[in-house]
Chain A
Amino acid sequence: MTGFNPLDYVNSSDFLSTAPELLLVGVGLLILMLDLFLPAKRRELIVQVTVMGLLLSLAIVWIGWPDSQSEAFSGMLVVDGYSQFIKMVVLLGALLVVFISGRYLRNEGIYVAEFYELLLFSSVGMMVMASGANLLTIYLGLELMSLPLYVLAAFLRANRRSTEAGLKYFLLGGFSSALLLYGISLIYGLTGTTNLMALQHSLASLPVSPPLLVAMVLLVAGFGFKVSAVPFHLWTPDVYMGAPTPVVAFMSVGTKAAAIAAFARLMVVSFGGLQSSVWASMLIVLAVGSMVLGNVVAVVQNNVKRMLAYSAIGHGGYLLVGLIASMKPGSVVGLPDGLTSLLFYLFGYLFANIGAFAVVIYLGREGQHESYEDYSGLAQTRPWLAAVMMIFLLSLTGIPPTIGFVGKFYIFAAAIGSGYTVLALIGLLTSTISLYYYMGLGMYMYMRPPVERHVFYPTRGLTISLIVCAVATVLFGILPQTWVHLAQSGVLQLWH
């Protein structure tokens, strides 16, 4: 047999470029072992190890921030500023979720190490997706992201709604994965490759044929499900209602970030502006549907978690607007402005949305104290809590001086710059609708007399994450330049 030298294909730089992911997998395995040997009293150590692992992974991402794109593992993945930005969002999200989940898990009696393991593995999946430069890697990342989330959604096993949420998410998620895989196999059949760069060359010489169109539709369906874009949104309200609140906070940000990042890379790098009118016409339907349906249905909700679910559908629509804005009909490569605004919007959405869910956890146990009435007079009983919730709601609406305003501003500006003025107008209009229901909750907090039966569940972790989210929301709303530049330089590296 001829010499088999694995080092021809794998070398140390490959491992360095995947160090953040490898570290998280290692921490997950470590927790698995710790859980066996630790006495029940020392469980706190597992949380501390998780936090340390996430922080260290974040530090590696931050220190190793690349100036240009580099490949690893024979082109299976790439590391560039774009992927690192998404990884940063995912890691920050996971970190905040670990902080807000401690007391919640204890209250619900599910304080187990597996929660943190699955959270870590799901984060790894999201990071694999963000870096994926091969359709196979992207698909495996998607599965690694989703599978732990299905289990996490059903984590409250004695709770019927949670079990139902898990099963519903699993069945529909499996179905959407199958559609995505069908699309990928068609692309492979047409071009003979799954590498995104190689696809670019093959697709450029390929005429638009019905099978290619079908493949594009299937890809949009597969990724659209993860972004909970209309009409693939039907699972969202029930899963958000039933799943444990920290899990919802995690998946509302992480899943969207990873899915839209991988989709944008595929669209921009492989298709490189080819068939941009086809992509745009499909995505416009999804974006308009999500913005309108999400925001209009959210108006009639009386449950805060359900309202946040519909608002998440709406925010998925805004993200799609950013994606559409990266394609100008007729131009060969994508426009960086759209993707930059998309990345920045995700960054802002991270703090505002996880912050809002943290307030929900602060206020009550699963399934209790989630209606608008329970927030009555919060400004009198807990003025600071009401104030930070107000900040998050303002940011989700998109009112200055919060980060949500800057994010929406960039997205709509990019859309207008690419010639999608009507889309930007619809976005503005639906944001106005969202003002109604977000401020409806604000009105309950500030204008209504307080209700008596408030029980609060404060912890140090919750307080820390609320402060971090609130400060970040306001501070980066006033001084967004650093992050915008970071996102911009990352997006520019996509093509090199």
Chain B
Amino acid sequence: MTWLVFVLLTVVALASAVMVITQKNPVYSALFLVLNMLSLAGFYVTLGAPVVAAVQVIVYAGAIVVLFLFVVMLLDLRKSIARDRSLGYEGLLAIALGSLFVFTMLLVFWGASPPAGGTVSAVNGTMEQIGKGLFQKWVYPLEVCSVLLLAAIIGVVVLANKEAGQGK
């Protein structure tokens, strides 16, 4: 049963990921991204982490992709839809090298035995566990994350600000 759910989720996740990058209309791309996020949330549920799954749905599928949609609709990207879709030699090279990479990875993981060294301990993804983890053992990475987000916000303000940095 778990196996079936896993396969289903995998197929949906991979297919929607491919659809995200092959759609002509960016709005459709964003919607397929939602589907992709939702299937990832499904993985988290099967791994025993319902809180992470809920966060995935609320934050990623909900807030972030909706923001994407806002930007896409406000920018009115119609012109770029009609771009030249021929590949050129760079595209062919990229496809060739990408296929080589996928092929190598398949070869590597085909029949690779599960690791002997360590099995990840069973996750107990309740709210309490996550909260304790974040603010006890992992508090330092959490704080580094907060500085990282602050730096990102400052960076966006700098790049989007009309007055600063006009060059002359």
A residues near B (Cβ < 8 Å) are 1, 4, 6, 8-10, 14, 18, 25, 32, 72-74, 76-77, 108-110, 112, 114, 117-118, 121-122, 124-125, 128, 134, 136-137, 140-141, 143-144, 147-148, 150-151, 154-159, 166, 188-193, 202-203, 205-207, 209-211, 213-214
Contacts and interface: CB of A to CB of B under 8 A. Distances in A.
A159 B167 contact: yes
B70 interface: no
A75 to B, nearest CB: 9
Task: Specify the main secondary structure of chain B where it touches its partner.
Answer: helix
B116 interface: yes
A451 B105 CA distance: 58
Interface residues of B, number: 40
A151 to B, nearest CB: 4
A433 B157 CA distance: 44
B105 A109 contact: no
Interface of B: 104-105, 107-109, 112-113, 115-121, 128, 132, 135-141, 144-145, 147-148, 150-152, 154-155, 157-159, 164-168
A151 B155 contact: yes
B128 A1 contact: yes
Nearest to B152: A147
Contacts of A125: 148
B165 A137 contact: no
Contacts of B141: 76, 134, 136-137, 140
A150 B115 CA distance: 37
A114 B158 contact: yes
Nearest to A207: B116
Contacts of B155: 118, 147-148, 150-151
Contacts of A112: 158, 164-165
Given A32-B154, A109-B168, A214-B108, 4 more contacts: A25-B147, A158-B168, A206-B116, A210-B112
A144 B132 contact: no
B118 to A, nearest CB: 3
B120 A192 contact: yes
Given A192-B115, A211-B109, A156 B165 contact: yes
Contact of B167 (A77, A158, A191): A158
A390 B105 CA distance: 50
B140 A121 contact: no
Contacts of A154: 159
Nearest to B136: A9
A211 B157 CA distance: 41
A76 B107 CA distance: 34
Given A109-B168, A121-B150, A151 B118 contact: no
B164 A77 contact: no
B165 A205 contact: no
A177 to B, nearest CB: 12
Given A118-B151, A211-B108, A110 B116 contact: no
A140 B151 contact: no
A202 B154 contact: no
A214 B105 contact: yes
B119 A192 contact: yes
A154 B141 CA distance: 27
Given A202-B117, A210-B108, A114 B148 contact: no
Nearest to B142: A140
Given A148-B151, A211-B109, A8 B144 contact: no
